[in-house]
Structure 1
Amino acid sequence: MATMDDGTRTTFLGEVKSAVSTRAALLVIGVLGLMAAFITSYTGAFHHPKPTDVPLAVVAPAQVSGELVRKLGQLPGSPLAPRAVPSEAAAVHQIENREIDAALIVEVSGSTDRLLVASGGGASLSQAVEAVVGAAEKAQQRTVRTVDVAPAAHGDGRSLSSFYLVVGWCVGGYLCAAILAISAGARPSNGQRAVIRLAVLALYAIAAGLVGAIIVGPVLDALPGSLFGLWGLGALTVFAVGATTLAFQGLLGIIGIGLAILVIVVLGNPSAGGAYPYPLLPPFWRAIGPALPPGAGTWAARSLAYFRGNAMTGPLLVLSAWAAGGALLTLTLAVFRSRREGSGGRPRRRARPAGRPPAPTD
């Protein structure tokens, strides 16, 4: 038993209920579930990476091309998705446009073939393809020499800088939105407040995109590519994540922040193709990755850095959809809530005429 300040006594259970409200207990349980999802998602995505259906071009004489493509396509576990390509120039063009991840060039005049890879798109994927093709070539009493046609920059270890850059932008986006919500209520009380929050978020996104691009570019020399291109990509990524977080908060209140973390961090980061590009991920993560902001941002950042901005239309559309959808939902929820409260959903205080004293209270 404990004694309160007014002299009354209360039980230990009463003290617990006073210290931890039911709402707080439910939030703690939700955090526990979020932690379990985090561990499951990251471990599930990364614990056993293996190549599956990696797009591979095969350049070989017509008399052997078909048979070679067939044999490579029938390797155990289906690590490769080979296709015949008429020339080395065509294969390089497809690599630069990110249509394929590697190309095997058969040298008819010798026993050593060449494997063209692009480590700028993911060093782990290039190494995995090299191991698979090397083993297949060895079985045919041939050797293979690897040529990197889009190598990662010297300061971009294992081509991870683009991934970490996008992760930083995403963190900044949902933290900014969370702060805007915590400062004056998770659900905007009216459309005007929602517009103001989105405007502040847009200004923040512009600044965050520039800061990130400068850090990985001129400051650290970690990522090549257009500074203005990365700036624009960063601004779009930050706003997309922030607007989505504001929308979730408008829908669910403070719980919306947890939902944003679930979508962006728990599901989005391990499926982004950063540490392990899509062909190395399990089917679930490979399927959702391109549709989430971290995956779209990482793909676009690598395209800007190493592939002359090719194959960016899809990722930019994904980011734009999250940005527009989040902003529209935020505004819609705020206006709906304002109208509901104004129409009797929550009583408003009537203005007291000037000079009249307030009514007495019980």
Structure 2
Amino acid sequence: MMRTTRGGGLDGDPGTGFLSEVRDAVSTRTALLVLGVLAVQLAFIASYIGAFHEPKPHEIPIAVTAPSAPVTAQAVQQLRGLPGEPLKPRAVKDEAEALAQIRNRDVDGALIVDPRAPGDRLLVTSAAGASLSQALEQIVGSAEQAQKRTLTVTDVVPESAGDARGLSAFYLVVGWCVGGYLCASALAISAGAKPANPARALIRLAVMLLYAIVAGLLGAVIAGPILDALPGSIPALWGLGALLVFSVGAITLAFQGIAGVVGIGLAILLVVVLGNPSAGGAYPYPLLPGFWRAIGPALPPGAGTFAARSIAYFKGNGAGGPFLILSAWAVGATAITLVLSLMRQDRRNHDKDLARMAKSSSAGV
């Protein structure tokens, strides 16, 4: 039985003390890693609560049209002057143009003004996020009520029956991201965080690519035909999933090449701590605070969520930008991984040359 003796450690050896045992059990490196984990945990709490605790509409893009240009201009001015700037109205020619802009993802709703009627019509799209369409309905409804007018709301691009509150695209993207950094982490655990040479780096990237292709297909099939949660093109969702998984995996490999096992934590910080709450899932971009609203579209979860919704409900309209963002992450992270492996190989070869020279010199003496 383990017991503490007078002046001894936990193993009963009187030659060791408790502090010595602690130093042996927890190295300086381990202590730093534990502090790093604590920092990531606190950042997670701050990021998620900071993003979600007080959603507030800010410059939601909305189209406005009326039978005449002066009436349209007046309605735009009234909406632009609402306290806190919750809306970003733009004048359009007619209802057809307003509907086209919604389906192209240029705006999130449209107000159809008819001064000859007792009320106006609001076109929304719950497929872009139920919380966003509800915010539009509340803001415009209050403005109409202040003018003693009624408001009729029409959901022109509704979410599918199996996609509660339009969150399936976000959860699919989160699953793809988790797979990306877990696969890269598994490669690091099995063969060392930093690839020894370019050949090994290429092998890891190739494995990551194969995994991404399979994960992208299976994720799209589960969300589509199996669970009937997301409509839209399966090949397009497959392509998005493969690109997203590979991007996140390549980012994790690049961070590992820079910082070793700590790189896994850096990848989690970027993708999970910063990326997920700013992705526009539970609350689309116009409802997020400024910091999260600014970084969201540039990070993989945000780009993936926007593109997945575009594919599922908007025939891919607006998905081009997010695909370019994900491609940039994939190419940049791949390049960093390969360059670091080349540098590591050159350094190792240089060390070998120095050792060989030193051995030759000693032999000559």
Task: State the TM-score, normalized to the length of structure 2.
Answer: 0.93
C-alpha spacing 1:131/1:346, structure 2 compared with 1 (3 Å): farther
**Cα-Cα RMSD:** 1.6
Report the Cα offset of residue 345 of structure 1: 7.2
Q: Deviations over 1:116-171 (max 9, x none)?
A: 01110111000001000000000111011111111000000000000000000000
Report which stretch shifted further, 17-26 or 58-67.
Answer: 58-67
Q: Return the letter of the residue paired with 1:20.
A: V
Q: Return the letter of the residue paired with 1:139.
A: A
For 1:175, the equivalent position in structure 2 comes to: 182
For 1:14, the equivalent position in structure 2 comes to: 20
CA contact under 8 A between 2:127 and 2:157: conserved in structure 1?
A: yes
For 2:4, the equivalent position in structure 1 comes to: none
For 1:219, the equivalent position in structure 2 comes to: 226
For 1:358, the equivalent position in structure 2 comes to: none
CA contact under 8 A between 1:250 and 1:256: conserved in structure 2?
A: yes
Report the Cα offset of residue 347 of structure 1: 7.0
Pair 1:159-2:166 in alignment: yes
Q: Deviations over 1:163-195 (max 9, x none)?
A: 000000000000000010111110000000000
Identity of counterpart residues, as a percentage? 63
CA distance, structure 2, for counterparts of residue 41 and residue 86 of structure 1: 41
For 2:72, the equivalent position in structure 1 comes to: 65
Report the Cα offset of residue 201 of structure 1: 0.3
- Structure 1: segments with no counterpart, 5+ residues: 351-362
C-alpha spacing 1:30/1:349, structure 2 compared with 1 (3 Å): farther
CA contact under 8 A between 2:8 and 2:16: conserved in structure 1?
A: yes
C-alpha spacing 1:104/1:335, structure 2 compared with 1 (3 Å): same
Report the Cα offset of residue 64 of structure 1: 1.6
Pair 1:328-2:335 in alignment: yes
CA contact under 8 A between 1:300 and 1:312: conserved in structure 2?
A: yes
CA contact under 8 A between 1:240 and 1:323: conserved in structure 2?
A: yes
Alignment of 1:256-295 (within 5 A): 256-295=263-302
For 1:191, the equivalent position in structure 2 comes to: 198
For 1:355, the equivalent position in structure 2 comes to: none
Q: Return the letter of the residue paired with 1:334.
A: S
33, 38, 46: which one aligns with 1:32: 38
For 1:360, the equivalent position in structure 2 comes to: none
Task: State the TM-score, normalized to the length of structure 1.
Answer: 0.94
CA contact under 8 A between 2:278 and 2:285: conserved in structure 1?
A: yes
C-alpha spacing 1:4/1:36, structure 2 compared with 1 (3 Å): closer
Q: Return the letter of the residue paired with 1:51.
A: P
Q: Return the letter of the residue paired with 1:239.
A: F
For 2:62, the equivalent position in structure 1 comes to: 56
Say which SS state the counterpart of residue 105 (structure 2) adopts: coil
CA distance, structure 2, for counterparts of residue 253 and residue 349 of structure 1: 28
C-alpha spacing 1:214/1:346, structure 2 compared with 1 (3 Å): farther
Q: Return the letter of the residue paired with 2:233.
A: S
Q: When the two structures are aligned, how many residues end up with a matched partner?
A: 350
Report which stretch shifted further, 217-226 or 4-13.
Answer: 4-13
CA contact under 8 A between 2:113 and 2:120: conserved in structure 1?
A: yes
C-alpha spacing 1:106/1:187, structure 2 compared with 1 (3 Å): same
CA contact under 8 A between 2:10 and 2:18: conserved in structure 1?
A: no
C-alpha spacing 1:104/1:171, structure 2 compared with 1 (3 Å): same
Runs of at least 4 residues off by over 2 Å = 1-8, 345-350
Report the Cα offset of residue 2 of structure 1: 2.5
Report the Cα offset of residue 62 of structure 1: 2.1
CA contact under 8 A between 1:268 and 1:292: conserved in structure 2?
A: yes
CA distance, structure 2, for counterparts of residue 316 and residue 244 of structure 1: 16
303, 306, 312: which one aligns with 2:310: 303
Q: Deviations over 1:190-238 (max 9, x none)?
A: 0000000000000000010011001100110000000111001000000
C-alpha spacing 1:115/1:232, structure 2 compared with 1 (3 Å): same
